Structure 1
Amino acid sequence: MSTPTIIEGTVPFSVPAANKPCYTWYKIFGDLNSGVTPLILLHGGPGCTSDYLICFQEFNAKYNIPVILYDQIGNGRSTHLPEKLDDEEFWVESLFHDQLRSLVSSLGLDKEEKGYYILGQSWGGMMGSTFISTRPKGLQKGVLSNSPASLDLWLEAANAYLNEMPEELRSVLEKAEETGVYEGEEYENASTEFMKRHSCTVEWPEEFLEVMRWMKEDPTVDMTMNGPSQFVAKATGSYSNWSAIEAVKNINVPMLVINGVNECATDKAIKPFLDGIKDVKWVKLQNSTHAPMYEEKEKYFEVIAEFLLGKTSS
């Protein structure tokens, strides 16, 4: 059996407002010169890392589709900018679009003979949906996985789930919202329980925990764009009013939308994607919440591969 091709590296990313050299870290499973269109993965957040998507190495091995992971700016192995904490004019969606565009160009995937697919998961699908709406050169198909069409729709679902929590847990989370104190063992336990119900219902793998370690080590992006609350958007900042409802009407490539059950990317939250995108297919995974790459991996990979390798129309 031949040894799988794995390439890891960095490419420069010009960010004039950063006032220092920046770079994007990436990792490739498979051969970009194989003639098979590669899949670029956009991880969640804002403020997470790509570690939890490392399982897509298995996707590459099974379906022979090259996979490209990368860490978004401010996270993981890409350039960190802790000096930009609370700089809401810096941490805007277009920054992440520019980084993705830079990576695509650096890898030569925007050339006519190359091309690529995109899969955005959670925030990656949110940011990815608006990126795809710009009709980037070389993009052939896109997948929006566990992503809402607006932040308001996500928060609406989160608060509905909060109301369903046992009283002893709900009261702890509500107290944190009232006081603005998001720390302490009780809060950590209640927050973890919420995530176990609505984000990942199986035992959290090491890769999942690694993301949390990165976020704890440098919370710059998360705290500036999200703030400390799971249930209320920051009152200011470009992300607080985020919506792709109008933008996705401009998408002109085939798209796949995936969601699960009891997650914040509810059927209502993804409906604007289904209504607005001209060529769209929807798959709902019945045994997953927000982390199908761990909760229902084989089925999840199968659905993605079938869409990417199958017909171009839904």
Structure 2
Amino acid sequence: MLLLFFTAAAALLALCITTDGTDDRSNVSITKSGGDTHEGYIDVTGGRVWFRVVGRSSAGTPLLVLHGGPGASHDYLEPLEALADERPVVFYDQLGCGNSDRPDDPSLLTVERYVAEVGEVRDALGLRRVHLLGQSWGGGLAAAYALSPESDGVESLILSAPLLDTGRWIADQQAYLAAFPEEIQETVRKAESTGNFDTPKYQEAMGAYYARHVCRLPAWPDCLNRTFEKLSLPVYLGMWGPSEFTCTGTLRTFNVTGRLADIPVPVLFTCGEHDEAPPATLAYFQSLVPGSELAVFEDASHEHHLEATDAYLAAVREFMRRIDAA
């Protein structure tokens, strides 16, 4: 019991940033603070990233959340704030994304720099012990960080619909596309061959694809709409490429599957039944990580944390509780 007390106290003290816009770490500035929440900016390589901490006074090991995209923002992951009743939940927008600085420097758009950024955020906020949750590209980032020498203190990984192998990701999307009517397939092929992705027919085709494999809710939640409104095209194009079916950016050779067995902490994989990261692919990834777990959510897709929120939060909550108690 004493060990649990001191662990909780350490987690709390690590996040006790003052409310006058300063911090004992010179690379952190607070722009807004109230109650159990504060937000601000952290100086990282290449600029400043925006962060938000919810549940500062909660006693459990903090949860650090890595958004996807690449080029998205934290907004669509806001339902995870519900976990702040047990532990601090820390969000941040990766450099070039959302509320963070958007430097015009393509050399910053590398996996290595974003991995280093995770460490810079942890150091700035004093997150000595942390659970790490990554969604989509954020899942690949979380895995890459967990495999880096700087990952000491990471207690577990939650990889939600993760991008772990670009080649397999593209193959999965192509397989899904083959199940659509020929007209939609031809529209996508034409856009891919001409480089013209702005036609109404292509937008309609992508709308049909997204409705089946990205978010199946009839009306998208505000938090997801905000993420799409804030989407950083320079980051998406620079790291990924022109469409979900083609990768020409810095992630084109990304593949950590050969190293998954070396992840030294417990891992929970999650996906939706109709996810861009399909259950069969996630089952394969799980087979490469001894002792890992997989939760598949029925009638859900890539945004299964929005489509099956209660079940998703329950699975993540129970997983972290078990790790904390071990």
Do the structures match in fold with TM over 0.5? yes
Q: Which residue of 1 aligns with 2:131?
A: 117
| CA contact 1:199–1:263 (8 Å) conserved in 2 | yes
Verify: 1:108 aligned to 2:126, yes or no: yes
Q: Which residue of 2 aligns with 1:151?
A: 166
TM superposition shift of 1:244: 0.9
Choose from 216, 225, 233 the match for 1:209: 225
Verify: 1:276 aligned to 2:288, yes or no: yes
TM superposition shift of 1:278: 2.6
Q: Which residue of 2 aligns with 1:12?
A: 43
SS state of the match for residue 59, structure 2? coil
SS state of the match for residue 28, structure 1? strand
| CA contact 2:261–2:288 (8 Å) conserved in 1 | yes
Deviation by residue 1:197-235 (Cα, 9 ceiling, x = unmatched): 0010002112111111112xx41111111111211221x
Residues in 2 aligned to 1:267 and 1:191: alpha-carbon distance in whole angstroms: 22
TM superposition shift of 1:312: 6.7
Q: Which residue of 2 aligns with 1:29?
A: 54
Residues in 2 aligned to 1:281 and 1:185: alpha-carbon distance in whole angstroms: 41
Choose from 91, 114, 134 the match for 1:96: 114
TM superposition shift of 1:311: 4.7
Taking structure 2 as the reference length, the TM-score comes to 0.84
- Which residue identity is paired with 2:132? I
Q: Which residue of 1 aligns with 2:29?
A: none
Identity of aligned residues (%): 26
Q: Which residue of 2 aligns with 1:231?
A: 245
Residues in 1 aligned to 2:323 and 2:138: alpha-carbon distance in whole angstroms: 24
| CA contact 2:53–2:90 (8 Å) conserved in 1 | yes
Q: Which residue of 1 aligns with 2:95?
A: 73
| CA contact 2:155–2:265 (8 Å) conserved in 1 | yes
SS state of the match for residue 201, structure 1? coil
Deviation by residue 1:91-118 (Cα, 9 ceiling, x = unmatched): 11011111110010111112xxxx1100
State how many pairs are aligned.
Answer: 291
Residues in 2 aligned to 1:197 and 1:165: alpha-carbon distance in whole angstroms: 10
Residues in 1 aligned to 2:325 and 2:58: alpha-carbon distance in whole angstroms: 24
Residues in 1 aligned to 2:323 and 2:53: alpha-carbon distance in whole angstroms: 25
Q: Which residue of 2 aligns with 1:130?
A: 144
Residues in 2 aligned to 1:258 and 1:23: alpha-carbon distance in whole angstroms: 31
| CA contact 2:132–2:158 (8 Å) conserved in 1 | yes
Q: Which residue of 2 aligns with 1:142?
A: 157
SS state of the match for residue 252, structure 2? helix
**Gap regions ≥5 residues in structure 2:** 1-33
Deviation by residue 1:18-52 (Cα, 9 ceiling, x = unmatched): xxxx1111011101x54311101100111111110
Residues in 2 aligned to 1:249 and 1:308: alpha-carbon distance in whole angstroms: 20
Verify: 1:219 aligned to 2:243, yes or no: no
- Which residue identity is paired with 2:154? L
Runs of 4+ in 1 over 6 A off after TM superposition: none
Q: Which residue of 2 aligns with 1:55?
A: 79
Deviating more after overlay: 92-101 vs 278-287: 278-287
CA-based RMSD: 1.9
SS state of the match for residue 162, structure 2? coil
- Which residue identity is paired with 2:134? G
Residues in 2 aligned to 1:116 and 1:220: alpha-carbon distance in whole angstroms: 30
SS state of the match for residue 268, structure 1? helix
Deviating more after overlay: 277-286 vs 299-308: 277-286
Relative CO higher for 1 or 2, CA cutoff 8 Å, sep ≥ 6?
1
Verify: 1:188 aligned to 2:188, yes or no: no
Are the structure 2 counterparts of residues 307 and 130 from structure 1 closer, same or farther at C-alpha, using a change threshold of 3 Å? same
**Gap regions ≥5 residues in structure 1:** 16-21
Taking structure 1 as the reference length, the TM-score comes to 0.87
| CA contact 1:254–1:313 (8 Å) conserved in 2 | no
Deviation by residue 1:160-205 (Cα, 9 ceiling, x = unmatched): 1111112332222221112110002221111111001001000211
Q: Which residue of 2 aligns with 1:265?
A: 277
- Which residue identity is paired with 1:137? D
| CA contact 2:157–2:266 (8 Å) conserved in 1 | yes
Residues in 2 aligned to 1:48 and 1:91: alpha-carbon distance in whole angstroms: 14
Residues in 1 aligned to 2:323 and 2:66: alpha-carbon distance in whole angstroms: 23
SS state of the match for residue 205, structure 2? helix
SS state of the match for residue 298, structure 1? helix
TM superposition shift of 1:78: 1.0
